[in-house]
Homo-oligomer: A and B are copies of this chain.
């Protein structure tokens, strides 16, 4: 199975992926985890360019789109047999200066062909404290509204991906201190 694990920054998505990997090792399950962003950064370095996401102009958008497509090809080669699971750690939506970009546009979906989309979610105030590494200060309502918008856009894009592919959308809540429970929820669906 190919399971795409997504979450907006601060939801603890990568932490959950790492816990899944640990639990899978304990249970001697064969799992691979790849990070979409890392593959894109590596590819852009090879081309002597930095990957940046603020106010992308035409040529940069085209460059990013090509990287996304190349990264999808690299990932598709890591897909194993029916008894192996591949977790793709990525974003459903990427907030840039030019607006929200789909982390998994149609051309990527056709190559990666996922069986399930996991949306790791957390409460807006938790997302904000994780982003700013500060658990006491009271947060701005504006910032919370931004998190709510980003979460909604992730859900919308996930559902569009579900219609395109037939794969399911699973919401996994990841409140503070519960990353192992969240990881176990993901692990349940693996082979």
The interface size of chain A toward B, counting residues with CB under 8 Å, comes to: 47
* C-alpha spacing A188/B167, complex, angstroms: 34
A-B contacts, 22 of them at CB < 8 A, read: A1-B58, A55-B188, A57-B189, A58-B191, A68-B166, A96-B168, A98-B168, A99-B168, A99-B170, A99-B171, A101-B166, A101-B168, A105-B162, A105-B164, A105-B165, A106-B166, A153-B169, A157-B159, A160-B160, A160-B163, A161-B163, A163-B164
| Copies of this chain, whole number | 3
* C-alpha spacing A58/B101, complex, angstroms: 29
For A109, the closest partner residue in chain B by CB is: B163
Q: A55-B189, A157-B162, A157-B163 given; name 17 further pairs at CB < 8 Å.
A: A1-B58, A59-B82, A61-B115, A98-B170, A99-B169, A99-B171, A101-B162, A105-B166, A106-B163, A106-B166, A109-B163, A153-B159, A153-B169, A156-B156, A159-B160, A160-B160, A163-B164
